[in-house]
Structure 1
Amino acid sequence: MLIAGLVLAGVAALVHVYIFYLESFAWTRPRTRATFGTTVQEAEVTRPLALNQGYYNLFLAIVTAVGIVLTAAGSTPAGAALVLAGTGSMLAASLVLVISDPTKRSAALTQGLVPLLAVVAVVVGLTV
């Protein structure tokens, strides 16, 4: 189960790298604006905020990836702690999103479902 959790955590990390790209480099492009539901004006005004948020997503992905590598290398306590910190933060951010704006349920689900599954699988894998 731990391996399944690490694979799910890897998928979650990749999703967050993609979100980093969208928020940090493609924020004002039409497709990204459609994805996030922003106008040209809103995208321009919020560009610095999106850049910052994008980097937060990248850092969560990096923490998760380092945890996966450490766990795979046999440093299970440290690696699992990082995987759970990264994916747990991803999950928490998705909950904040849906609580703050219920119309963003779909985005929150995209952002949080795989991290939730990763957290559950890693915890189960560690307790078996």
Structure 2
Amino acid sequence: MIIAASVLAALAALLHVYIFIMESVTWTSPRTRATFGLSETEATATKEMAFNQGFYNLFLAIVAIVGIVALAIGQLAVGAALVFAGVGSMLAAALVLLVTSPDKRRAAITQGTLPLLAVIVLVLALAL
């Protein structure tokens, strides 16, 4: 079950790396603007904020990945703590998005599903 939790956490991390790329690298591109429902003017006006926000997503992914590596080398306590910190924060951010911006429900669910599954499976793995 630790392997399943690690795979789910890795998928969540990869999704957040992709979000980092959209927010910090391609924010003003037509495809990213369409994904976020932004006009060119809105994307330009929010570019600095998005750049910063993208790095938050990258850092959460890095925490989860370091936790996965720790789990893989047998450091169960450290690995589990880091995976919980990374994917738990991803899940919390998705819940904040869902509560504060109900019109972005689909994005919140997309952003939060893999972290939620990783948390559940890791809790089960540690409890069994």
Number of residue equivalences: 128
Question: Matches of 1:9 and 1:49 in 2, distance apart?
Answer: 26
TM-score (norm 1): 0.99
For the aligned residues, what is the CA RMSD? 0.5
Counterpart in the other structure of 2:46? 46
Question: Matches of 1:37 and 1:101 in 2, distance apart?
Answer: 14
Question: Matches of 2:3 and 2:70 in 1, distance apart?
Answer: 13
Counterpart in the other structure of 1:9? 9
Q: Deviations over 1:75-127 (max 9, x none)?
A: 00001000000000000000000111101010001100000000000011011
Amino acid at match of 1:97: L
SS in 1 for 2:57: helix
Question: Matches of 1:98 and 1:46 in 2, distance apart?
Answer: 20
> Displacement, 1:3?
1.2
Counterpart in the other structure of 1:113? 113
| Identical residues among aligned pairs (%) | 61
SS in 2 for 1:19: helix
Amino acid at match of 1:70: A
Long gaps (5+) in structure 1: none
In the TM superposition, structure 1's runs of 4+ consecutive aligned residues that sit over 6 Å from their partners are none
Counterpart in the other structure of 1:71? 71
Amino acid at match of 2:88: G
SS in 1 for 2:63: helix
TM-score (norm 2): 0.99
> Displacement, 1:17?
0.3
Amino acid at match of 1:82: L
SS in 1 for 2:114: helix
Amino acid at match of 2:26: A
